[in-house]
Amino acid sequence: MAMEPDQSRKIGRGVFLLTVAGGLSSLAWGKAAWSKVSGVISPVAADIAPILPTQGWRIYTVSDHMPTFDPATWQLRVGGLVEKPATITYAQLRALPRVEQVSTFHCVTGWTVQNVHWGGVRITDVFGLVRPLPEAGAVQFVSAEQPYVDYLTMQQALLKDVMLAYEMNGKPLPREHGAPMRLVIPEMYGYKNVKWMAGINLVAHPQDGYWEQLGYDRDAWVGHSNGYSS
């Protein structure tokens, strides 16, 4: 993929830090660096956490290509256990009631970003369009970045500050943060905050998401799940 200068600088720093941490000096700088960095950070979190800065975003992907966003063609598919499946365009998303919140973002590997200003919509307003069936007990969030997916129970999805965010700090959500829309659930670690949202499906029960299949807790409550610090 083509990397912008500021991105390659961040990756360069990430690779440097990982290399310093030891055991990873074979990490070659080059084409695969982007996916290597995002794939490697979590498993070695306990080793590298002490030397990584704890403030500021780190951009994570699980593939070597960040999805692109075209407002003219973007669609959010909402379906599963609903009365009326819907395909929501970007214009329709922006026409839903707009809310704002300031919340803090925690990655399970130990970094935090305080007071992020988000703008977006509440999930209940999307549910209003499709009307979940009584047997819908959980929500599946599907990223356009395959195979990234995660789930919340209905109760978790309906927490008051869960947001489908299309703005970050007063600007449209940047590509690397999941343009045009990502999940925000401040009570839970970053891996539940699916970027590049492409689909929302109502399902009966939660299942393991991407990182959960690799050993992280489904219920990723900040401070109480199996991050490196607990």
Ligand X SMILES: Nc1nc2c(c(=O)[nH]1)N[C@H]1C(S)=C(S)[C@@H](COP(=O)(O)O)O[C@H]1N2
What, of ligand X, Mo ion, none, does residue 143 touch, CB below 5 to 8 Å by kind? ligand X
Interatomic CA distance for residues 65 and 100, integer angstroms: 29
Token pair for 99 = 């809310």
74, 191, 196, 216: which one binds Mo ion (CB under 5 A): 191
212 touching ligand X, by CB under 6 A: no
60 touching ligand X, by CB under 6 A: yes
149 touching ligand X, by CB under 6 A: no
Judge contact between 185 and 176, C-beta under 8 A. no
What, of Mo ion, ligand X, none, does residue 201 touch, CB below 5 to 8 Å by kind? none
Enumerate residues 6+ apart whose C-beta is below 8 A from 207.
138, 140, 151
What, of ligand X, Mo ion, none, does residue 61 touch, CB below 5 to 8 Å by kind? ligand X
Q: How many CA atoms lie within 13 A of 123 on its CB side?
A: 27
Q: What one-character DSSP code corresponds to residue 37?
A: H
105 touching Mo ion, by CB under 5 A: no
Judge contact between 193 and 185, C-beta under 8 A. yes
- The footprint of ligand X on residues 80-99 (CB under 6 A) is none
190 touching Mo ion, by CB under 5 A: yes
**106-145 footprint of ligand X as x/- string (CB under 6 A):** -x-----------------------------------x-x
Q: How far is the CB of 41 from Mo ion (least distance, A)?
A: 8
Going by their DSSP bridges, the two strands 171-172 and 99-106 should be labelled as unpaired
